[in-house]
A = this chain, B = another copy of it.
Amino acid sequence: MTSASVSEELCHFFRQDAVAQYLGAELVECGAGRATVKMEVKNTHLNAYGMVHGGVLFFLADLAFGMAGNSEGNRAVAINATISYLKSKKTGILYAKAWEYTSNPRLASYTVQVIDEQGDRLALFQGMAYRKTHRS
């Protein structure tokens, strides 16, 4: 989160995300059209079966998507997203890596992979953002 690869401005933007703070997500890396976030699984992330909640996997992917979408100074808002669940987990560290797949001045689409420490694929996410205006 203090990595040289993340600008101060993006770190600041990330820290303003209250859910990210509340669930314990961290920004690993963020650059033009891409971002990586991580989160250590805690008990508060589990569903009724004791597995990481699908909504938590989605949240982590969505967070990486949001950072990638806002990485270049645009104010981008998500208009839709799709997630496929591939493998479930109970513990460990989760990573979500987002990258821009395509964009035009108004719309941009992103792909996000959620993986564990071993690199196993847990979920695949695809999101589309609408670029409203320059953020600042």
**Which residues does A use to contact B, with CB under 8 Å?**
13-14, 16-19, 21-22, 43-49, 53-56, 58-59, 62-63, 66, 70, 75, 77-88, 101-102, 106-107, 109, 111, 121, 124, 126, 128, 130
Contacts and interface: CB of A to CB of B under 8 A. Distances in A.
A56 B53 CA distance: 12
18 contacts: A18-B53, A19-B53, A19-B55, A49-B75, A55-B62, A55-B63, A58-B58, A77-B88, A79-B128, A80-B80, A80-B128, A81-B83, A84-B101, A84-B102, A86-B101, A109-B124, A111-B124, A124-B126
8 closest Cβ contacts across the A-B interface? A55-B59, A16-B48, A22-B44, A55-B62, A80-B84, A86-B102, A19-B53, A82-B82
Nearest to A55: B59
A81 B127 CA distance: 12
Contacts of A109: 84, 86, 124
Oligomeric state, in copies: 4
A54 B66 contact: yes
B48 A59 contact: no
A85 B102 CA distance: 10
A82 B47 contact: no
Contacts of A70: 48
